[in-house]
């Protein structure tokens, strides 16, 4: 799992350079005496007084004057770690017990005027019924809000060459076919449909795997002044007697306006 985690980080790094897309960056640093550190991603200066949470373990702490913090929580499986500091974008990253042995250097970004919507909360979608082999199952402490998350969002008309992008800071607990193939859970034979992202009544994308900073572009033609965003969790495709929603959690949802990246030939 750790190898996969690193591979994902390597994968997202190039996109940072091209589109300034990710909400922070992560580097391993073995010289920190087992303390992780929070820095400003631009100036690389240590940030004092940032709040650090593990919502599913009921743990919270703050960084010291050198930006350092220690996790005195017994992390048994992957967990969402959240960082909050006023003037900065809420930041989250999925961690596991290796963080106590291999501390992290986390770069957080200043709030951006192009952030049109930010929800720093942790939401649990599903029905609270799940297998003990589910990805991250036992750490769901947030009460499920049901199969949907829904929000009304104002977006000003986009100028030429701009696009709006939905960013999921962290996603855990998905038991989709892809999550199973990637070894993100231990369920042998069954899987769920992906999470669907619905914008003004149209499905614009899916979440198929767990991980940080997953992004979905909103087609410009769908954007109005007032918009409906719905995130609907999947369901177990092998349970025919009743609906078994896939229990998952996401944190740090936001919508950013960015320069358009042209993918068409
Ligand atoms: Ca379920």
- Domain with 40 in it: what CATH number? 2.60.40.1120
Domain boundary among 108, 126, 159: 108
**Side-chain half-sphere CA neighbours of 215 within 13 A:** 18
- Say if residue 13's pLDDT is above 70: no
| Residues 180 and 132 occupy one common structural domain | yes
CA 228 / ligand 1 centre spacing (Å): 25
**Is the domain of 146 the same as that of 247?**
yes
Per-residue pLDDT tens over the stretch 36-69:
999 999 999 999 999 999 888 888 999 999 999 9
Number of domains in the chain: 2
Instruction: State how far the Cα of 253 lies from the Cα of 257, in Å rounded to an integer.
Output: 14
The string of pLDDT tens digits covering residues 184-201 is 888 878 999 999 999 999
Residue 238, token pair as written in the block: 């092998």
Say how many CA atoms lie within 13 Å of 54 toward its Cβ.
Answer: 21
Quote the ligand 1 centre to 163 CA distance (angstroms): 34
Average pLDDT over every residue of 64-84? 88
- Dist. CA 245 → ligand 1 center (Å): 4
Q: Is the predicted pLDDT of residue 33 greater than 70, yes or no?
A: no
Higher-pLDDT residue of 231, 186 = 231
In the structure, how many helices (H) and strands (E) does the chain have?
A: 2, 16
Asked whether residue 86 falls in the same domain as residue 121, the answer is no
Residue 34 maps to a domain: yes
Q: Give the closest residue to 32 by CA, choosing from 77, 3, 67.
A: 67
**Structural domain containing residue 52:** 2-108
Question: Is 264 within the bounds of a domain?
Answer: no
* Lowest mean pLDDT across 25-29, 104-108, 152-156, 216-220: 25-29
Q: How far is the CA of 94 from the centre of ligand 1 (A)?
A: 21
Position 175 scores a pLDDT of 93
pTM over 0.85: no
- Residue 155 C-alpha to ligand 1 middle, in angstroms? 33
Distance 235 CA to ligand 1 centre (A): 7
Residue 265, in any domain of the structure: no
């Amino acid at each position: 799992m750790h190898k996969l985690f690193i591979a994902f980080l390597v994968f997202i790094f190039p996109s940072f350079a091209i589109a300034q897309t990710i909400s922070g960056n992560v580097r391993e640093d073995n010289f920190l005496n087992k303390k992780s550190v929070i820095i400003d991603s631009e100036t690389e200066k240590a940030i004092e007084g940032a709040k650090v949470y593990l919502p599913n373990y009921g743990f919270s702490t703050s960084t010291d004057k050198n930006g350092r913090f220690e996790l005195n929580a017994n992390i048994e499986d992957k967990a969402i770690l959240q960082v909050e500091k006023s003037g900065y974008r809420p930041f989250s990253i999925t961690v596991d017990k290796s963080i106590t042995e291999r501390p992290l250097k986390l770069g957080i970004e200043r709030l951006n005027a192009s952030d049109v919507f930010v929800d720093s909360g942790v939401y649990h979608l599903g029905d609270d019924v799940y297998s003990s082999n589910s990805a991250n199952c036992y750490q769901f402490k947030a009460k499920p809000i049901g199969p949907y998350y829904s929000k009304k969002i104002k977006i000003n008309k986009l100028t030429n060459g701009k696009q709006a992008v939905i960013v999921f800071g962290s996603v855990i607990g998905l038991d989709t076919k892809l999550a199973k193939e990637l070894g993100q859970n231990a369920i042998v034979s069954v899987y769920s449909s992906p999470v669907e992202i619905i914008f003004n009544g149209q499905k614009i994308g899916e979440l198929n795997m767990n991980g940080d900073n997953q992004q979905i572009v909103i087609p410009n033609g769908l954007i109005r002044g007032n918009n409906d965003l719905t995130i609907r969790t999947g369901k177990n495709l092998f349970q025919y007697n009743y609906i078994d929603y896939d229990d998952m959690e996401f944190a740090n949802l936001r919508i950013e306006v960015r320069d358009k990246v042209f993918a068409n030939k």
